[in-house]
Structures are given as structure tokens and as C-alpha cells.
Chains A and B, each alone.
Chain A
Amino acid sequence: MTLTTMALIAFALVTVLVISMVMVRPSLAGGTAGKTLALVALAVLPAVATTFGTNAHLEASKTTDFCLSCHAMKPYGESLELDDSAHLPAAHFQNSRVPRDHACFSCHTTYTMYGDLDAKMKGLKHLWVNYFGTIPEKIELYEPFHNRECLHCHDGARTFEENEFHADFRQELATNETSCLECHDVAHEVEKLHELERWSRDGE
């Protein structure tokens, strides 16, 4: 549990305490000051607690464990353990090129002004489909993977900049005319999971 979550829990408990006081002694809500107290206790504080709570949940929804808690995502999680350096997600995950606890979100958010919001709205839709809808046989991206998401980290990185092949396509890569995936084309190949070796940090 993070410090923010603990602070939020403390805030909510204080709110419950203040509301309880107003409920036990309704006379506290009499007069102008009392009405203000009741307004703060029964509307302002709960609204603040709910806002912070929503934020805490949205932050938690960026974690790898959260994404992989849906059954449909399990094979994609397993693909992070493949012993194949050409397999992009596995290579990123195993070499800590993405934060391991935010692995899915790091590549599958959109690095634009409203990218996080957009990702969250799509995430809500995914939750709905997961619990109340029909999960598609094959899970696909909404649109082709944009180089912007790769270049968010790789642009300016020495290994990227000094690579002679990248130099030849610098402009095309920046404008997304040539996709990074045209060369780095092994992503989550979940249908081949059973054929490939796994790698474990513990050497198991």
C-alpha cells in the first residue's frame, strides 16, 4: 500500500468521523455555520475523497498486475517471459527497458496530451467487454502501433541514434511513414507461446 493510499484512507476516515458527528448531533447543522459544516461534511469532503480515490484507482490500473488480472490478457503476460531477444515485449520487459510494474501501459498508452485519458477510457471499455460483453477471439490494436510510442523513450538514446540503419530512415521514422515494426516485427505472438522457451529471472 502506497503512502498516498494510506493518506487517502486517513482522509476518508476523518470524513466518516465528521459525518458521524453531524448525524449524532443534527443540531450542529443548524444556523449558517452549521449548514456550512454539514455541506462540507456531506458534500465537499466526500467529493474530495472520491476524486482522490478515482485517481488512486486510475494509477493502480496502470500496473502490469492489473492488466494481467483479466483472463484474456494472460497469454500476453506470458509472452513477456519468452527467451527470445528478437521478441520485442520480452526484450523490453526482461531488460527493464520499460518499468516492469508498468510494462503494458508504458507501450500501450499514447504519448499525446490526452493519451492517458484516452487509454483510460478504452480501459473502461475493456472492463465492460471483459465482464459483460464478448471477448474477441483475436485481440487487436485499435490502430497500427505508432512510432511516437517507441520514440518517446528511444529518441535520443545512444543505441538508437548510433544505429546506421536508423540513420537512413530517421525522417521516415519520426513522421511514422516507416513503422518501427517493419524491422522489429516480433511482438506478442501468443499463438506460438507453447513452441517457445521461457526465461526466468530466477533461472528456474
Chain B
Amino acid sequence: MTAVRAPAASRPVPAGRGPLRAAAQLLRLELRHNAMLWMLPVAIGLFWFTTYRKAMAMPPLWYPRAATLHGGTLLAFAFPVAGAAAWMGSRDARRRTTDLVTTTAQPRWVHLLVTWTATTCWAIVGYLGCVAILYGVTARQASWGGPLWWPVAVGAASLSALSAAGLAAGTLAPSRFTAPLVAVGAFFALALSTQPIQGSQSYWQISPVVSGPWDDGFDPGVATFYRYLPDLSIAQLMFLAGLTIAILGILALPNGRSGRWLRRPATVITTAGLLAAGTAVALAGTGKLDAHGMIAIPALHDAANDRPLRYTPVCSRTAIPVCLNPAYTSYLPATAAALTPVLNEIAGLPGAPARISQAAATYRQDAGNSISVGMAGPSLSGTPPVFRMLLPFQLPGPTMTTSEFAAAVRSTAGVDIVADVIGDGPGATPAQRAVAAALRTSAGLPEEVLRSAPTRQRPNGAIVPLPAPVRSAARRFAALPASARHTWLVRHLAALRAGRITLAQLP
């Protein structure tokens, strides 16, 4: 059947030129009309409500703030980013523009890529804004150290992956319900991804909300004495980049979204992305809690990161200087004030420490997700002797007020300093116990702190009351004037420590 037979029009063809410029113009339009722009206030509001306030309640140390920012902000952004991306992905189906867009010269995949870029750009702009606020405030509060960028990079890569996943869901299953379902799904997927983690050798550590040993909390001791280990972050970045590439590649595979010239490289890219993601998961499974509280992955580990950081401690002007890592400068007055009564009692005694120095905590993986945090080696060592202590913040536990912190310092370091100087420990003589109890009382500490050995029923041990003769001798010794106590101790401390002083010989 023939209709009209006439020569076809011959005009210059408006061939595509300057694809980059055209892509930039498309991106400008997509940025202006992207749903993520409208979701930013939601994401930033969630960040403020769930992350910023929590981070600000933490000590002004970079690692806990960065870890809080990392996990919290990601969860705050997951739902808006995935939802907005899914909304944008389903736009053509919802707006019935699929035919219009499909019949244009630009491959549909390029169009989707521009939409993804715009969504991701807004998400990352919002995310970096939150990072800037939190890091800016922390920079003004922190006394030492600097921002940690690896967790920030993981967060940004996570948003890219969430955006890609949302866009793919919206494109492949377009409906008005896709966006809310994807938003809720993304939140729960992230939140639940940490549940299967058991110990430090878990494949699930690849979850982007994990920045260190899971269930250990945001330990302030990390990244102050030793560098932040980027091993896990590198694996996570590899996983997220692979995932993003694979998802974007998959979008180019269906016939009609691109030509064969694009589908072949898309297949290669998708395969490479999946391989990278799989490799990253395998690497995360080889992770191991290192002695400094971070996850080390042997294949990605740089031994240079195991060297302790060099720093000049900040010291108090007390009878015996109390020296802390400069990151903890703000805690020096409270620490020194808490220890001053004890230090006044022992200053000048033979064997008394020349300095009280903050030490790095050491970490050990126990069964499941439990972790032991402590201090390696004896607390009193060296010539001249130095007493090494951990601040309460370096141990797992709840956030403390200043008065709680001071009380914790007195009841841990204060008691230990007296015990180390007098020799009050397992196997101590009654005289040693009595003198230690007297010094504790004089310094405002509890008289009875001796703990029994841990048992299965009482893993932390228990307070064992002082025998009556010991208590009596302790109260007698404590009642002496401070100078008399000090003079007696200067003369007899060596004998007391050697166990050659009896209760009766105490003044």
C-alpha cells in the first residue's frame, strides 16, 4: 500500500555535539527539579535529632564524634536518599513520559545516569553540610588531633550506593508505592545489617554503618594514641563502589535503554562491580580486632599505622604531675583535682611515682561481640617510676558528667596509686592493708576497697571487709597529722613494702 511518493527532505542533521556540555545542562535541570532537594530538610532534621545532639554529648574527641557522625548520619540520610532516588527512578512511568524519553536520541541509560548524579549530588551536599557542622564544632572544642576523613568517605559512598539502589528500584518497579517502600526498606536494611555481626571476623562488618568493633561503642581511646586504621573503611569503600557500579551497570542492560555498544561494557562493568563488592565482603571477613581497638584487615593493613602517634603530653602542676594525652586536655583539671589528695599523701615517698601518665588502652576480642579493654603491663614501672593509668572514658561505659568522671578517677586511679606505692594487693600484709586504708581515708577515698578475686558468680570481685585489727590500726594511722604520717612512711616504707612491718609497729 503506497501513499505519497515524493523525494525525502534533505536538511542538515542536527547531530549531537558537545556531549559533556549537554550532559551538564541536563544535570542543571535535573538538579533544579530533583526530589532529593526537597528531602534535604528531612534528612538534616533527622541528623540534628538523632546524631548531632548525641555527638555533642560525647567528649570532644575526634573518633567518637566521627563514628557517631558516620553511623548516625547514614541512618538519618538512608531513608530520604533511597526514597528520593526511587521517586526519581519511577518518574517517567508515573508521569507517563516513558515514550517521550525513550524516543529521544540520548540512551535512556544516560538519562538515568544524570538523574542518579543529581540525586547523589544533593544527598552528598546535605551530608557534607552535616559533616562540616559537626566537624566544625568539634574542631573548636577538641584540643588535639584532626578530623577523620575515612568514615566521611564511606558515608558519601554509601549515599551514592543507596541512591543507585533507589533509582534502580524505581526504574525497574515503577509505582507510587515504590519510593516509600524503598525508603523504609533501606532504613531497615542498614539498621539490621549489623545484627549478624559476631566478633571481629565477620563478613557483616562490611555494613557501611560499622566503623569499628561492633557493640564496643564509640571508644574514645581509639585514634588518639594510634592512627585510625582505614582497613575496614577501604573494604567498605570497595564494596560500596562495586555495588554502585554494578547497579548502574544493570540499568544499562535491558534492551532499549542502550545500544549494543553500551550493553557490552555495561556487562563488563556490572561483573567487575559485583566482583569488587564480593572481594570486599571476603576481606571484611578476615578482619581482626587489633590491640588498639580497630579492625585490621591483613591484606589491606599498612604496618606504618601501628606506630604510636607522637604527642607532647599536657601536665598538671600538682605534687606529682598528672600528664594526659593532649586530646584529653579538657579533662586535666578534673583529673588532677581528683588525684591531688592522693598525690599529696604519697609525694616524696621512696618508690612514689615521679609522674602519673595516661596510657593507651589495649583491646582483646572475647567470645561473641564482647571485648576486653584494659592496660598492658604493670601500672607502676620504669626509672624513675611512672604510674600509668586509663581515664574512665577509655573504658566501655556510659557517658559521664564531670563529677562522675572525677569520682571514677578517684576510685580507680587514686586507689591503684596508693596500692602500688604501699604494696597493697593480693598477699599484702595486714600492716600494708592498714596503711593503704589509712592513706585512702586521708585522701577522701573509701576505707574498704579491697576486692576479692573474681568468681563466676561475681566476675568483678567483691569488697572484702577489713579485719577489725587492721581497721583499728588504719584508723589510728590515719588520725596522725599528715606530716607525722609522711615522716613515718619516708622512714619505713621500704620495710613496709618488704612485709617486715607488723600491725603493732604502726604508730
Tell me whether A and B are bound partners: no
| Interface set of A (CB-CB < 8 Å, partner B) | none
> Which residues from chain B sit less than 8 Å from chain A, CB to CB?
none
